[in-house]
Copies of this chain bind each other. A is one copy, B any other.
């Protein structure tokens, strides 16, 4: 069974760069990768914060949160 990978971002330049590089490097034979853009999916903000996402871009692999560089804080995302 594949594991779950979720890449959370907010469309910021740092996010887009990370999405293009990191998200595209994920082994999709092992992971079901979902890209969540908070600009289009504000209803996912609570879920991300509960998982421990503090800033974007962030990659969640099997429940572990990996913040990648720093684009914006979740407070900024929430606005």
As for how many copies of this chain the complex holds, the number is 2
Task: List the B residue with the shortest CB-CB distance to A30.
Answer: B25
Q: Interface residue count for A (Cβ, 8 Å)?
A: 21
A67 and B64 within 8 A (CB): no
CB-CB under 8 A from A25, the residues of chain B are: 5, 26-27, 30-31, 61
Distance in Å: Cβ of A40 to nearest Cβ of chain B: 23
CA gap between A68 and B65 in the complex, in Å = 9
- Decide if A51 is an interface residue (CB 8 Å cutoff): no
CB-CB under 8 A from A67, the residues of chain B are: 68-69
- Decide if A38 is an interface residue (CB 8 Å cutoff): no
Q: Using a CB–CB distance below 8 Å, which chain A residues touch chain B?
A: 5, 17-18, 21-22, 25-31, 59, 61-62, 64-69
